[in-house]
A and B are shown apart, each in its own frame.
Chain A
C-alpha cells in the first residue's frame, strides 16, 4: 500500500507571524515607495533619496491643468532667455526617423508649427537636464500638421520624434519662436548633434 506524501500544515502561530511580517513589508513599501512616488508624501526621506519625488512631480506636471488668472501678472510669463525665432526643413528618408529638440529652461515658452508632406508618426517629448533617462511624452499620434504653444515644465530638451512610415521621402518644415539658446538633432537613432539657433527677430 502506498502512502500519500503529507504536506505539513503551518500552525496558527506561524500563519499569524507570516501575516504580520507581510503586513509590515506592505506598510514599508507604502511609506518608502508608494507614498512618495504616487502622492508626493515623503515621511522618512526615501522619496528624495531614491528620486521617487521626481516621478510624482513629473506626473503632476503632465496632468495639471493650466490655470491663468485674469489678474495683474496672471497671464504674463516673463522670460529670462533671449527671444529667438527658428525655421528649418528636414528630409526623412523612407522609413527613417528624426528627432529635433529645443533647449528650454523651466517656464520657458515656445510657439511652433510643423508641416509634413505626408502624415508622420510624432512624439512630443522631453529629456530632463541632468537625467536624460527621465522623459515625459506630452503628445503623440499621426499627423501632417501640428501647431501649438508650449511652456516647459522643467529644464531640458523638448521636441519631436518623427517617424516616416512610408517608402517615400517626407519633408518636414518646422517654424517656431521661443526662448531657447540651442537645439539638438538626432538622425536615425544616432547621437545628437547640437545646432545653434541664431536668428533673433528684428
Chain B
C-alpha cells in the first residue's frame, strides 16, 4: 500500500512538473487527411509528408466556420490543422478546419 501511494504521488508530482515547466509550440499543417484511426489523425501535407497527430475530445472541428463533429474527419478531405507539441512528431490537434480545396 505504501509503495502504491509513493508511486502515485511521485507520478503526479513529475507529471505536474513537466506540464508546467515547458510550453508547447503551435504548428499549422495544411493537407489531405490520409487516415483517421485510434484517436489519431494522419494528414498528408502539401509537401507530401505524412504528419500524425493525436485527437481527443477537446479537438475542435470546423467547416465553414461552424463547429461539426469529429465524424466529419474522413480520408481524402482537405484540412488546416492547428496542433500543439514540442516537435512535428509529437502533436495534439487542437483545431481542424475542413476546407473546400488546398491553397496553391
Binding site for B on A (CB under 8 A): 10, 14-15, 17-18, 21-22, 25-26, 29, 33, 37, 50-52, 55, 93-97, 123, 133-135, 161, 163, 165, 167, 188-189
Contacts and interface: CB of A to CB of B under 8 A. Distances in A.
Interface string B1-42: 110011001100100110011110011101000000000000
Contacts of B16: 33
B2 A21 contact: yes
Contacts of A22: 5, 9
Contacts of B22: 133
A10 B82 contact: no
Given A133-B22, A163-B28, A18 B2 contact: yes
A97 B103 CA distance: 13
A26 B9 contact: yes
29 contacts: A10-B1, A18-B5, A21-B2, A22-B5, A25-B5, A25-B6, A25-B9, A25-B10, A26-B9, A29-B9, A33-B16, A37-B20, A50-B21, A51-B21, A52-B21, A55-B21, A93-B103, A94-B103, A95-B30, A95-B99, A95-B103, A96-B103, A123-B26, A133-B23, A163-B28, A163-B82, A167-B99, A188-B28, A189-B28
Q: Which 3 A-B pairs have the closest CB atoms?
A: A94-B103, A25-B9, A135-B23
A184 B26 CA distance: 17
Interface of B: 1-2, 5-6, 9-10, 13, 16-17, 20-23, 26-28, 30, 80, 82, 97, 99-101, 103-104
Nearest to B10: A25
A185 to B, nearest CB: 16
Given A21-B6, A25-B9, A95-B99, 5 more contacts: A18-B1, A37-B20, A97-B28, A165-B97, A189-B27
B103 A33 contact: no
Interface centre among B80, B97, B100 (most CB of A within 10 A): B80
Contact of A17 (B2, B26, B97, B101): B2
Contact of A29 (B13, B21, B26, B97): B13
A134 B23 contact: yes
Contacts of B26: 123, 161
Contacts of A29: 9, 13
A94 B30 CA distance: 10
A167 B98 CA distance: 12
